[in-house]
A and B are shown apart, each in its own frame.
Chain A
Amino acid sequence: MNNLINLTIDGKTIEAESGRNLVDVAKKNGIYIPTLCYFRDLNPLATCRICTVKVNGKDTTGCTVKVAQGMEIEVNSAELLDNRKAIIEMLYAEGNHFCPSCEKSGNCDMQNHAYDMGLTVTRYPHVFSDKIVDFTPKRMIMEANRCILCKRCVEEVKTKEGQDVFSFVQRGINTRVKIDYELEQELSESEALRAMNLCPVGAILVKGMIQEQPFGERKYDLLGKDIKPVVKDNNLHKKANEKFIVATTSLAGCFGCHMSLLDIDTDFLDILEIAEFNKSPLTDIKNFSKRCHIGLIEGGCSNSENVAVLKEFRKKCDILVAFGECAIMGGIPAMRNFVPLQECLEEAYLNGVTTEIGADVVPGHEDIPKLLNNVYPCNEVVKIDYYIPGCPPNAQHIWKVVKSILLGEEFSITHDEFKYD
């Protein structure tokens, strides 16, 4: 039975037992094939598709391949690497992933893949579809906004009679995982916890068992790799001996990213040697007085004013950098995209706990801007050149990226710095 065979992976010859799972064989030999839905080789799920590799020239998922003599496997070609990144980006665009407030952040497999791949922004437009969070089960919560439909829970969580507790319902983009309410009640505490830990993202939660862990000590805060992003050719129109002119603005953000800008503390005085600030909430310059080299945008677009400011920034700055999750994908404020605008306004001004008796006024006036129906990420309104993720991004990280962009230098981002929350 121990039939040893030879195969090549990315040009490297490897010996392995015939019929073993490719992902395991590669791992043993120091080659990492990223997986998300893969749980054990007895039952490869092949739903997430990010382990797609080329076997003898044909594209297939690595988790379903059993190694055989003479196989030629390609794992890390540029195209395959981009495919993997694209699939993670599709997941981010399809679901409603708000890392800043998610219980699983820091322990999330999907987030970790995104960090390793250096994912700053998804190339696909966010869908912002309204998904239901199911609180009905006795002990568990099914967070459909975060579910990536990997099928682990469907296949692995069974009752003693072998019945499925989790099931897919509907079809296509309407597919959801639903919990069987009667059977869920029969699960023991440890079985429920197992289901929660089985889920690679934060879609299955057990009430009362959510562990808060210190930021910086969660599983993926300690593991992971540094990344080397690519700096594109810039259209900087800078004269020699001129300081870089920086403009900043906070649109629909909380100002935390600006505070993070200031968190470099005394290094700020060094920054002032090479840069000067033009239009910014930190200065009294209320309109662009000259063309700026770089514009830092915090916050997405929530009202007509934001849109106007953003468009002006695009016109007046050579490079636009969206920093912070709000600017990149809407951030926490984008949670209002799932609620009709009318309800938000009513809750705030007409039906609140401390609203006056007979309150009937909702703000609407020529001097205040109009609210948009949704919160829009900045790149859905204007073209953005760079993205710095985080909520807020780490101070060192922001300035490292900004400096590198301005000076056209290569740089690397440490694992600690690159976070979405």
Chain B
Amino acid sequence: MTKVDRSRLMDVIWGIQRKKRYIGHDDITKIAQEFNMSRMELEGVITFYHFYHRTHSGNFTIYLNDSIISQFAGRKSVLKAFEEAIGVKLGNVTEDKMFGLFKTPCIGLSDQEPSCLINFRPFVDLTPKKVFDIISKLKDGKMPYQICDSPKSNIRYTPKEDRTVFFKPYKKFSSLSHLKKYDPEEVIDLVKRSKLTGRGGAFFPTGLKWQFCRHNKADVKYIICNADEGEPGTFKDRVLLQEHPELLIEGMIMAAYAVGASKGAIYLRAEYMYLKEPLEKLLAEYRKNGYLGKILNVKIPFDFDMYIHMGAGAYVCGEETALIHSMEGKRGEPGTREYFPVDKGYKGKPTVVNNVETLCAVPKILEIGLDKYLALGTDATPGTKLLSVSGDCKKPGLYELEWGMKLRDFLNLIGAKNPNFILFNGFAGECLSSADFDREISGENLLSDHIQFYFKDPIEYARKMSGIGLRSGGSFMVFDKKRDLVEVLKNIADFFVAESCGICVPCRTGNFLLNKKINKLILGHAERQDLEDIKDWSKIIKTTSRCGLGKMSSTALNDAILKFPEVFEKRLSDNTDFNQAFNLEDATADYNRIINEMTSDYE
């Protein structure tokens, strides 16, 4: 049995997708042969990802963001403009194959919506007028890279100069000099004492993770940076990659040094393809300066190099085991949790997977010095956090805050006028209301998961949760009083149904069935019993799902039911013996039409 290295598989598929705009039948035959895979298995990998097409996707492939922030910013008229300008409806390709128009979930430009990607080049702050302009230029022969936007970084706020961690001037290579005086165990110790936790939203203690990995003996170990940033409303990693990519590279070098890894990779989401080239150039610089490859200028010399692996459009690949499978050339399905990545990860070897922000923090901690760093933020969560803000506020964009700011103050800072509800930590996060405004953005006094299921009403909630900290991976979406909460929840539910990997029953089927319940609410067919069902079904999905997607997909929904009972109340009718959703007229409409059509003659 010949084992072929499939880690290159996605690159090969991308090569064809980029050149031909689709993967054809013969391509599949050839690729399957080359990688010694069965044809159907290869189809399974290709059809898993959103950006691989089996039919031509248009010379100019347009992906229009459909997240709720984009909807509220005017996506509808932008979509109409696109459809008019190119002449086909969403989901189709023009007959001459020049344009293909598709929808896609959040592309990391929530502060500049409505936005889209054309051939993976970003176009932001779209208006119908701008759309017509873009399309006409493309028709005239311009290429997307010539007319695209450069997304702004929009850094709205940082703490005072000496209290800022990320966004202040930084000299390339400078933090790596610390590696001359520390050996690997000392680096781990520093990271542990800094109380740095995973900034992607899982908040696992970074130092501990590195320590576990270090203790596992293996001939090769890996450092993987999770730059998938798929959580809707998050764009902080994009900004870091735009402003300080050197911090990421140096962070990875430090991680490799600490755990004893010799290979690394950056898993970059496809929606950030425009950041790949500058990153590659930067990596080349590091190699030229002896900081990648054979690294000698450190206390214990070691080998380490890294490459960039492009994602292909799957939110679930932000989960670390799914990410690893994706990099191995398989479907991006999360693993069975039998082993942690630090024990058996990429290709079965000890692997550390860290978020961009986490890795960027490490060089900064060394630079600032542990004592000064610990003086920032709070006791449980020292340092700063990056928050990507979007929605109904005067100043959407990137905020670097010391941990410990009260939510109320933050809302003032961002210029939120009438904040009604907040999606804190993206679609998979909590739904906050005014009952939470006195809470602190920090890791203080955290409670165990799912606790919000056990409160009876908003008042009990406010009382018991007031001293509890709020932690977010970075996404912060605020909505004012004119927005419909149920519409937002529907957008969230649609997202999870589309992004579920499908491998485990509760997430795949459960989310779909929950979505149907939300439809009942929207159509006005819901009864009180339906709300009880939503709570019960959500609990089951949470406890039995395999990965974070299933576990967190119904959090915002249940939070909303608890905290905004009046919104749901007015959509409910009392329990009856008759199912409101069943409508005899609708059910017999087909028959009426058939009989009418069949009885007509040449009159």
Q: Do chains A and B touch in the complex (CB under 8 A)?
A: yes
Q: Is the CB of B39 within 8 A of A362?
A: no
Are B505 and A380 interface neighbours, CB within 8 A? no
Residues of A within 8 A of B581 (CB): 380
* Contact residues in B for A373 (Cβ distance below 8 Å): 586-591
**Which residues of chain B (480-526) have a CB below 8 Å from chain A?**
497-506, 508-510, 512-513, 516
* Distance between Cα atoms of A362 and B506 in the complex (Å): 44
B125 at the interface (CB under 8 A from A): no
Contact assessment for A371 and B503 in the assembled complex, using a CB-CB cutoff below 8 Å: no
Picked from A87, A166, A364, A379, the residue with its CB within 8 Å of the CB of B595 is A364
When chains A and B are docked, how far (Å) is the Cα of A342 from the Cα of B533?
35
- Using a CB-CB cutoff of 8 Å, which residues 338-391 of chain A contact chain B? 340-342, 345, 360-362, 364, 370-374, 376, 379-383
> How far is B11's CA from A288's CA once the two chains are assembled, in angstroms?
72
Contacts of A82 in B (CB 8 A): 540
Q: Is A279 an interface residue (CB 8 A)?
A: no
- Residue in chain A with minimal CB distance to B2: A161
Instruction: Answer whether residue B336 sits at the interface, using C-beta atoms and an 8 A cutoff.
Output: yes
A78 interface residue per 8 A CB criterion: no
Closest CB in chain B relative to A295 CB, distance in Å: 12
Q: Are A341 and B47 in contact, CB atoms less than 8 angstroms apart? A: no
Q: Does B544 contact A (CB under 8 A)?
A: yes
B586 CB contacts on chain A under 8 angstroms: 373
Measured CA separation A104–B41 after assembly (Å): 27
Segment of A168-176, A261-269, A408-416 engaged in the interface with chain B:
A168-176
Q: Does A93 contact B (CB under 8 A)?
A: yes
Contact B582 A380 (CB under 8 A): yes
Contact B579 A383 (CB under 8 A): yes
Q: Mark B309-345, 1 if CB is under 8 A from A, else 0.
A: 0000010000000000000000100001110000000
B36 touches which of A163, A178, A311 (Cβ 8 Å): A163
A119: chain B residues at CB < 8 Å are: none
Report whether B48 and A170 are in contact in the complex, using a CB–CB cutoff of 8 Å.
yes
Contact call B513/A124, Cβ cutoff below 8 A: yes
Q: Which residues of A contact B594 (CB under 8 A)?
A: 341-342, 345, 362
- Within 8 Å of chain A (Cβ to Cβ): is B301? no
Residues of A within 8 A of B540 (CB): 82-83, 86-87
Residues of B within 8 A of A381 (CB): 578-579, 582
What 1/0 flags go to A318-337 for Cβ under 8 Å of B?
A: 00000000000000000000
Query: Residue of A at shortest CB range from B502?
Result: A175
Given contacts A44-B338, A83-B540, A345-B594, contact A167 B38 (CB under 8 A): yes
Within 8 Å of chain B (Cβ to Cβ): is A182?
yes
User: What's the interface size class on A, roughly?
Assistant: 35 or more
A59 & B503 in contact (Cβ 8 Å cutoff): no
- Segment with Cβ contacts to B, from A47-55, A212-220, A224-232, A246-254: A47-55
**Do residues B506 and A87 form an inter-chain contact, with CB atoms below 8 A?**
yes
B39 touches A182 (CB 8 A): yes
A370 engages B39 (CB within 8 Å): no
Residues from chain B with Cβ under 8 Å of A178 in the complex:
40, 43-44
Are A167's CB and B591's CB within 8 A? no
Which residues of A from 53 to 80 have beta carbons under 8 Å from B?
59-61, 64, 79
Name the CB-closest residue of A to B335: A46
B1 close to chain A: CB less than 8 A: yes
Contact A179 B336 (CB under 8 A): no
Q: Are the C-beta atoms of A49 and B512 separated by less than 8 Å?
A: no
Q: How far is the CA of A127 from the CA of B589 in the complex (A)?
A: 20
- Report chain A residues within 8 Å CB of B146: none
Chain A, residue nearest B46 (CB): A169
What is the distance, in angstroms, from A361's C-beta to the closest C-beta of chain B? 8
Across the interface, do B39 and A180 meet the contact criterion of CB distance under 8 Å? Answer: yes
Secondary structure at chain A's binding surface: helix, strand, loop or mixed? Answer: mixed
Task: Report the contact-size class of chain B (Cβ under 8 Å from the partner).
Answer: 35 or more
A46 to B, closest residue via Cβ: B336
Q: Quick check: A175 and B508 within 8 Å, CB to CB?
A: yes
A245 interfacial contact with B, CB 8 Å = no
Residues of A126-148 contacting chain B, CB below 8 A: 127, 148
Query: Contacts A91-B505, A172-B500, A373-B589; is A46 near B48 (CB within 8 Å)?
Result: no
Nearest Cβ in chain A — how far from B228, in angstroms? 16
Most chain-A CB neighbours within 10 Å: which of B37, B509, B595, B599? Answer: B509
| Minimum C-beta distance from A299 to chain B (A) | 16
Q: Nearest chain A CB to B541's CB is how many angstroms away?
A: 9
Could you say which residues of chain B place their CB within 8 Å of the CB of A148?
505
> How far is it, in angstroms, between the C-alpha of A383 and the C-alpha of B537 when the chains are bound?
19
Chain A 172-208 residues near chain B, CB threshold 8 A = 172-175, 178-183
Q: Counting CB contacts under 8 A, is B546 at the interface?
A: yes
> Least Cβ distance of B539 to chain A in Å?
8
- Judge whether B545 is part of the interface by a CB distance below 8 angstroms: yes
> CA separation between A304 and B583, bound complex, in Å?
11
A45 at the interface (CB under 8 A from B): yes
Contact between B591 and A151, CB atoms less than 8 A apart: no
Q: Does B277 contact A (CB under 8 A)?
A: no
Whether a CB of chain B sits under 8 angstroms from the CB of A90 is: yes
Q: Which residue of B lies closest to A308 (CB)?
A: B584
Cβ-based interface call for A298 (8 A): no
Contacts of A382 in B (CB 8 A): 577-579
Q: Are B44 and A168 in contact (CB under 8 A)?
A: yes
Query: Does B136 reach chain A (CB closer than 8 Å)?
Result: no
Contacts of A94 in B (CB 8 A): 505, 508-509, 512
Q: Which of A90, A159, A161, A383 contacts B510 (CB 8 A)?
A: A90
Task: Report whether A307 and B584 are in contact in the complex, using a CB–CB cutoff of 8 Å.
Answer: yes
- A125 at the B interface (CB under 8 A): yes
Is A292 in contact with chain B by the CB < 8 A criterion?
A: no
Q: In the complex, A253 Cα to B537 Cα: how many Å? A: 31
Nearest CB on A from B389, distance (A): 30
Contacts of B499 in A (CB 8 A): 171-172
Residue in A48, A79, A168, A174 whose CB lies within 8 Å of B505: A48
* CB <8 Å contact, A171 and B48: yes
Nearest B residue (CB) for A159:
B38
The residue on A at minimum CB distance from B595 is A364
Nearest chain B residue, comparing its CB with the CB of A164? B41
B502 near A172 with CB under 8 A, answer yes
- Chain A residues with CB under 8 Å of B589's CB are 373
Assess whether B543 is interfacial by the CB under 8 Å rule: yes
Given A49-B544, A163-B37, A345-B594, decide whether A173 and B338 contact each other with a Cβ distance below 8 A: no
Are B502 and A149 interface neighbours, CB within 8 A?
yes
Is there a chain B Cβ closer than 8 Å to A16's Cβ?
A: no
| Residue of chain B at shortest CB distance from A180 | B40
Q: Is B598 on the interface with A (CB-CB < 8 A)?
A: yes
- Bound complex: CA A44 to CA B336 (Å): 8
Would you call A52 and B44 a contact (CB within 8 A)? no
A168 vs B596: C-alpha distance in the bound complex, in angstroms? 43
Query: In the complex, what distance in Å separates the CA atom of A406 from the CA atom of B497?
Result: 43
Specify which chain A residues have a CB less than 8 angstroms from the CB of B592 in the assembled complex. Answer: 370
Check A60 against B591 for contact (C-beta < 8 Å): no
- Report yes or no: B502 in contact with A64, Cβ–Cβ below 8 A: no
* Contact B590 A173, beta carbon cutoff 8 Å: no
- Contact A169 B47, CB 8 Å, known A148-B505, A179-B40: yes
Partner among B516, B587, B588 whose Cβ is within 8 Å of the Cβ of A125: B516
CB-CB nearest in chain B for A66: B338
Given A172-B499, A371-B591, also A47-B39 (CB < 8 A): no
Taken together as a complex, chains A and B put the C-alpha atoms of A123 and B533 apart, in Å, by: 9
Residues of A within 8 A of B545 (CB): 49
Once bound together, how far apart are the Cα atoms of A127 and B43, in whole Å?
26
Would B504 and A47 count as touching, CB distance under 8 A? yes
Residues of B within 8 A of A166 (CB): 40
Q: Does A30 touch B at the CB level, under 8 Å?
A: no
Which 7 residue pairs across A and B have the least CB separation, nearest first? A175-B502, A364-B595, A180-B40, A46-B336, A167-B44, A372-B587, A370-B588
Given contacts A48-B505, A171-B501, 11 further A-B contacts (CB under 8 A): A45-B336, A47-B503, A47-B546, A49-B505, A61-B337, A64-B336, A168-B331, A171-B502, A341-B594, A373-B587, A379-B579
21 contacts between A and B (CB under 8 A): A44-B338, A64-B336, A64-B338, A90-B505, A127-B512, A161-B1, A163-B38, A169-B40, A171-B47, A171-B499, A172-B497, A172-B499, A172-B502, A180-B39, A364-B598, A373-B586, A373-B589, A373-B590, A376-B587, A379-B579, A383-B578
